[in-house]
Structures are given as C-alpha cells and as structure tokens.
C-alpha cells in the first residue's frame, strides 16, 4: 500500500477525471486548475520527480503528452508544460508529473517585472 496520492489515483482508490490512459501513463484534470486547461500527466510507475526519471520514461511521457495536447485541443494554439522538482521547485506531490496548461494566453510571471533575478529569488 502506497501513501502517494497519485499512486492511489492510478489504482482507483481515489477518483480522478481522466483524459487519457495507457499501460504506462495517465492524464487527468488537476483538482485546482490554474488555467482553463490544466491536466496532470503521470507515469504509472512510481518515480519521485524529474531528476529521478530515466530517458526512456521521459521520451515516452513526452509522446503521451503530445497526444493529451491534441485531445484537449491545444496542440495548435499552444500550451505550457511544467514540472516542479523537489523542495525549491515547489513540488508538493512526490510522484513525477507534468502540468499541461493552456486554453488562454498565459503570462510569463516574474520575467518582466523582475528583470534582475537576484532581487526576486
Ligand atoms: P505540484 O505542486 O507540482 O506537486 O503539483 C501537485 C498538483 O496536484 C497540484 O496542482 C494539485 O492541485 C494537484 N492535485 C493534488 N491532489 C489531486 C487530486 N486528488 N486530483 C487531481 N489533482 C490533484
């Protein structure tokens, strides 16, 4: 029995609003969306975060993500892909996941108003 919330979603202990699934990956709606389209994409194998993932899983999850983008209708309009990694990255769920965000013109926060990174971070 895993305590990981995404493992529980994978094995059906916790419900999710699924978008796409195959043997290795699952995509579902984020419970607290930050954009009109906000999908989480995860491997079914428990990998802690991006830093722990191997090339095989990253390549395959990339192709799976492209399919999710098409399904959500943002493949042409564009989207943002984010993965928070570790404590400084703000990762809250310790199971590798990519946030696919789109459906609106996203702003690039911090980039303009904080042009000198050392004043900000
Ligand atoms: P992160 O901060 O990158 O670890 O993001 C974790 C994400 O998981 C957040 O955007 C949460 O809203 C989302 N989340 C947490 N629990 C659930 C859940 N049960 N179903 C869907 N999304 C969830």
Closest Cα to atom 15, ligand 1: which residue?
31
Cα of 3 from ligand 1 centre, angstroms: 14
Band of pLDDT at residue 118, cut at 50, 70 and 90: low
Ligand 1: atom nearest CA of 83 is 3
Q: What is the pLDDT of residue 117?
A: 54
Band of pLDDT at residue 110, cut at 50, 70 and 90: low
pTM of the model: 0.92
Give me the helices (H) in 1-121, please.
5-10, 55-71
Report the pLDDT averaged over residues 25-40: 98
Confidence check: pLDDT of 116 > 70: no
Cα of 115 from ligand 1 centre, angstroms: 30
pLDDT, averaged across the chain: 93
Confidence check: pLDDT of 39 > 70: yes
Closest Cα to atom 18, ligand 1: which residue?
31
Proportion of the chain above pLDDT 90, given as a percent: 86
Distance CA 19, CA 27 (A): 5
Q: What is the pLDDT of residue 108?
A: 84
**How is residue 42 written in tokens?**
């995860």
- The per-residue DSSP string of 77-89 comes to T-EEEE---TTTT
DSSP 77: T
């Amino acid at each position: 029995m895993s305590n990981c919330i995404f493992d529980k979603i994978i094995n059906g202990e916790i419900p999710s609003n699924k978008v796409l699934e195959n043997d290795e990956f699952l995509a579902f709606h984020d419970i607290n969306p930050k954009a009109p389209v906000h999908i989480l994409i995860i491997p079914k194998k428990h990998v802690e975060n991006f830093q722990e993932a191997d090339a095989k899983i990253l390549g395959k999850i990339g192709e799976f993500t492209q399919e999710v983008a098409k399904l959500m209708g943002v493949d042409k309009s564009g989207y943002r892909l984010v993965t928070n990694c570790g404590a400084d990255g703000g990762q809250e769920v310790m199971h590798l996941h990519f946030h696919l965000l789109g459906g609106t013109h996203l702003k690039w926060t911090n980039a303009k108003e904080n042009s000198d990174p050392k004043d900000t971070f």
